Structure 1
Amino acid sequence: MGFAELALRPELLDALSGLGYEEPTPIQRAAVPPLLQGRDLLGQAATGTGKTAAFALPVLQMMPDDGRGSAPTSLVLVPTRELAEQVSQAFHRYGRALGIRVLPIYGGQPIGRQLQVLGRGVDVVVATPGRALDHIGRGTLVLDDVRTVILDEADEMLDMGFAEDIEAILEQTPRERQTVLFSATMPSRLGQIARRHLQDPVRIELGRDASGDEETPLVRQSAYVVTRAHKPAALGRVLDIEAPTAAIVFCRTRQDVDEVTETLNGRGYRAEALHGGMDQAQRDRVMARLRAGTVDLVVATDVAARGLDIQQLTHVVNYNVPSAPESYVHRIGRVGRAGREGVAITLAEPREHRMLKAIERLINQRIAIEKVPTIADMRARRLDLTRAALREILISDDVEHYRVVVETLSDEFDLMHIALAGVKLAHEATGGTTDDEEIPEVAQPARSKGTDPARRDGKRARDRTAGTTRLYFGVGRAGGVRPQDLVGAIAGESHLRGRDIGAIEIAERFSLVEVPESAADDVITALRRTAIKGKKTTIRRERDDVKKGARREGHQRRGK
């Protein structure tokens, strides 16, 4: 099915042909016909599947050739400045022959220019909710003539706190309008907005692999389970192996962004930070350098990276597992477009293994758990790079003027030894960081078909979970300690949650608690400052004498 089958006007077909578009993507095939009929629409599809054209083409198709007034007839609400610019550019590309008047409205841009353009008249306004409300309050954005309202990346707008703004804007539009809502995920609160503002909508839901169409994002997904202390080294090794053309590394906090950026620059990468502490001019400079190829990596928080669309992006790296599975969907949607395979890599701490499972359930796809590259792997990789560089020189370059060096040395040394010395020189000249410490492999939790041992309070788990250790607490039944007291103290003072804590064994004068090995030292440090049942207590790793005492007490209790 080509675009001509969608019954689009000749000007739009010519524009699409000139842009190299041959056939519509699945979301465009499903959405354009009902939108042309004037129906409301609720669409769920991943980022990068062609949603912008899916709503822009019907808006342009229904645009009158003449007799347009000064007030906009279509309003597109988007979460970020970057997305506002991208959507506006798309309208211009598709509707240039129709003389489309499009204005992006967002914060961080001088409002004077926006006022001038609004005064001259526009057909389509693409706005962030906050700036749209600002103009509505000033009386410079009048929505009385709006026939179509589009909420793009609606879940992102809700995550950014725009729910009330969206409601206020929709109240300023005519009740008899067409309302279109597109989102990568469909949380319950978004469903509530849809029920209030959409009339008998057409529902479209396309998964990432729903059609097998070549436009569907293709993403190779994998994860590496490493302890927190070894994550910087693991990130460097994985990037060395993958050799991305352009990548975004997502971090949870600004501090993580700054630390990871510094680590990667120290490893020889050209990395730039991107977070909410930077002003818009700084953000624009970073993105310009990435698009120009003068930067290899951008290290960003989710908030700073929202709305970014970088065509040459090949890799997305989750330095931290996203706290919400929906965020993972948004992150990896930035790669794997237009038939090109993208790569999504996640570095997960042992305690985050369950979060990976939640993501797998959402995307209905397994994420392969890989082993972190070893020192031997890294050395082999560097040798491969050296071999490839030498091969390229031998094939394409003129090396004749170096013959005199080889001939002179051949009087004294064997030709093979001369070649080996040359390879060594070339190899060492490539630089790169050579790690001298192996990253310990983290055992994966066994998949259990029965009761999870971590949920058995006060009972010994028969099968100990791999990658865990037991901590000794110098307080037991005699001190009135219950399992919930220990769980509450650990979860309240450390980064662990209740479900991360394994089997708990409470003896008369001490207790043993199973925790992830990677978190043991952090828990000990955090709880040394904390009282349990009102008393400071000894906390350390379990010793052999404690194991024997626990076994002896268990035997005694069973004997009674």
Structure 2
Amino acid sequence: MKFEEIDLGPDIMSGLADVNYTELTELQEEVLPAVLEGKDALVKAEPGSDKIASFVIPALEMIDDREEKESASVLVLTPNPEESQQIDELVWAMGYHAQIESASVDMDTEPEEQEEALKSSVQVITGNPGPLADITKKLRFVFRDVKLVVIDATDSMVELGLQSKLKGILRRVLNEHQTIIYTGEMNDEVKKFAKHYLEDPEVIGLDSSTKMLSEPPKVDSNLSHGYIYVPNRMKITTLMAHIEETPTDNCVIFTASKRGTDRLYRTLRKQNLKATSLHGKLSDEKRAQRFANFTNGDVQYLLVADIPAAELDIQRVTQVINYDVPANPDEYRYRADLVGSGKASRVVSLVSKQDRSDINELESTLKQAPKELNLPKKVKEKLKERKKKKKKGKKKSKHKKKKRHNNGRNKRKKKKKDDLELPRPSYDKLSGGRKGQAKKDQKSGVIGLIKELFS
């Protein structure tokens, strides 16, 4: 699509021509119509000029339509100073013919410049939450005429712990306004933020994420869901035994990490089971292909890590297995929502020692709590074998200990015996010996005679 096909003012079109913008990118084709219609939006997008232009162009068009342009109409919040300055430059270049000005309140500008930027009559203010929150608080500054707020790279803001700064700035926007939130990844904190600040938003770049902004579904009362306490160092064994006992048409297995999906993938392939994996680091193309392989029925098992269940556009699967128990009860509900109700459908969680607290929270939070299930037969058999080996090992160790103990006792006995059988010293040649003493006494005259008589 070309920009000429969109209803933009002549001054904005001249600005686009100045920077050689002729055709919309795929992201811009999705974002521009929604923003131009005045809708709130939640957009997943990577950093770059493509993303920046997707909100700068409709923002400039909105300002150009306004009769009064003496105060800020657009507020853009971004986490790093380089991007704030880049946005500022693009606004100046594209808005030159429409006489739209902007200012950047970022970490690289001096406090005096930051104050001047807020006091000046620019139409677009871009900035980093830290310095912007501090300077607005110092000046007791409020935004009275802002019509559009853009929050960029919200996931990075959350990682940097800037939520309180963001909230402080947004409290200073006094009038009703349109909000666009951009994020590189969707997580619980971004979801909470979006739910609070967006109203009936257009969701772009996130599969089925409209579910994420609404209340999580309740667990179907007809759904069979439970958990298995996994013996120590037997998690994969338990999983494979459970899969063997409960064959299904299709199954989604959730793990806590990409490493976990890779490990399970190798295990399933060794058993000649068709599987594929999804994780947050996959490119959009690979992710779409693998997802299609599962939904088309080419593979039976879908291994998922680092992707919320609400993002998976799956109608019904026969079984969901939580290889790692979700810490968030809402995530458990979304996973359960992937499964159709009925006798053949189920959700099973494998609970290891470190998962006990998570399953306890689920039991206390969910109205229909999961029930404890029996261990698969193969796991029980292996446990018996393990116990037998342990008993044999204990017997052997006891026998060895006893043998060592007996050997030690025998050695001590032998030593005592040897001590008893040592040759007695001869006193014949000792001066104090019996014979030697006798000879000495004989020489002593009367004393020797008396001793001889008594002896």
- For Structure 1 versus Structure 2, the TM-score category normalised by the shorter chain is 0.3 to 0.5
Structure with greater Cα Rg: 2
TM-score (ref. length: structure 1)? 0.39
TM-score (ref. length: structure 2)? 0.47
